[in-house]
A and B are shown apart, each in its own frame.
Chain A
């Protein structure tokens, strides 16, 4: 059930390097599973397992085309994850910039309060 997947699950799915490779390949356009197996050099069952994980979290979609199953990238969960993890440093910078604003206010409150705190 892709609908019920949480971003934490998608995040975990993407944390696995082989699954990222699959997503990279699908970023170039939809591909049948055989193509993925050929390029990745992994055993088909393993590729299928990775694809199942990616499907479960809604990162890839599958359709039947004649005799083969064709996989394609689903962009939206990636965008959500990307927004969330787009840089640990950037997250901290964003947090610290906001703390700056809070601190300016706290300083003003103190300056305006001549009694100080006992």
Chain B
């Protein structure tokens, strides 16, 4: 695995076999991280990473409210995710569901926490899946493991054919 160094390091761990935990510290107070996370115009700027353009962000930030993000990936295809808010504590915590619209049966329950200390904020996202198979099969596919190696190998072939 080649690692991409970034200005901050996202740490990904697996607390349980149906969970993924992502942790990252930001040089900003929690209320601003919250704003970046919950304001549609701002979410549009980061949610797709480097992988495409976010074409739509809908956020109805209340318990029972829904969210939906659509991105047009660099490959030219569209991917959409949506879910429902279950718990909201402003500037501190959001519990929501998340489903990939290509695989609507498998949804995760995601818990965002923000912990501010001396003007900096530690953000965690815990994603919980119904079982390990769902975690591995759908979301972990892009991580270290058989699929990643296969895809790396295959991509070399793809590049050589291009």
Contacts and interface: CB of A to CB of B under 8 A. Distances in A.
Interface of A: 6-9, 11-12, 14-15, 17, 20, 23-24, 27, 73, 75-76, 78-103, 106-107, 110
A101 B44 CA distance: 13
A81 B102 CA distance: 13
B154 A27 contact: yes
Interface in B15-40: 20, 22, 24, 26-28, 32-33, 35-37
Contact of B76 (A80, A86, A96): A80
Contacts of B138: 15
A94 B49 contact: yes
Nearest to A87: B142
Given A6-B102, A17-B146, A96 B24 contact: yes
Given A75-B162, A82-B158, A99 B142 contact: no
Nearest to A92: B10
A95 B36 CA distance: 11
Contacts, number: 166
Chain A binding surface SS class: helix
Given A20-B146, A79-B158, A82-B151, A96 B28 contact: no
Given A75-B158, A103-B36, A89 B75 contact: no
Interface string B94-137: 00000011110000000000000000000101000000000001
A59 to B, nearest CB: 9
Contacts of A82: 151-152, 154-155, 158
B79 interface: yes
A32 to B, nearest CB: 19
B32 A103 contact: yes
Contacts of A98: 45-46, 49
Contacts of B63: none
Contacts of B22: 89, 92
B56 interface: no
Contact of A88 (B7, B27, B139): B139
Contacts of A106: 28, 32, 35-36
